[in-house]
Amino acid sequence: MGMSIAHIMASCMGGIRTAGDLVAWMQMTRKMKINDAKAYVAGKLGIDVFDLTDEEVMRDIRKDLGIGTVTSIAGSPKGIRAKIKIAELLGIKIRSVELFKKQIGI
C-alpha cells in the first residue's frame, strides 16, 4: 500500500476532496482499471461518474455518508469512523479497520 498516495494523485481526482481516495481503494483492493473503479464507486454513491470529480457534490455526499471530508464538519465521522464507513460502503477490507475491530472486539 506504499503507493496509495501516488495512485490517488495519478487518478487526478483530488483524493478526499472528491472521490479519488475511493477510486484508488478499488484499484488497489480489487485490481480494477480506473474506469471500472470510477463506475463502481459512482454506482455505490448513486451518482454519475462525472460527479466524482465535483468537490461541491462530493462534499455533500461524503458528509451525508460519513466517509470523511478534507475539513472536518462538527459531529461528522472522522478518522477510523470514516474509514469503517468507507469499508462498508465499498464492500472492502481495510487493514486498519480490521485491526481496530479486533482490538475492540467487534
pLDDT higher at 1 or 104: 104
103 membership: H or E segment, kind and range: helix 95-104
Q: What angle do CA 65, 99, 5 make, to 5 degrees?
A: 65
In this prediction, residue 6 carries a pLDDT of 64
Average per-residue pLDDT in the chain? 88
End-to-end CA distance of the chain: 24
pLDDT band at 75 (very low <50, low <70, confident <90, very high): confident
* Alpha-carbon gap, residue 93 to 101, rounded angstroms: 11
pLDDT higher at 12 or 16: 16
**pLDDT tens track for 29-73:** 999 999 999 999 999 999 999 999 999 999 999 999 999 888 888
Q: Which domain holds residue 57?
A: 4-104
* pLDDT over threshold 60, residue 9: no
In this prediction, residue 70 carries a pLDDT of 83
Rounded average pLDDT over 84-97? 95
Length of the chain: 106
Provide the domain count of the chain: 1
* Alpha-carbon gap, residue 99 to 22, rounded angstroms: 20
| Percent of the chain whose predicted confidence (pLDDT) is above 70 | 86
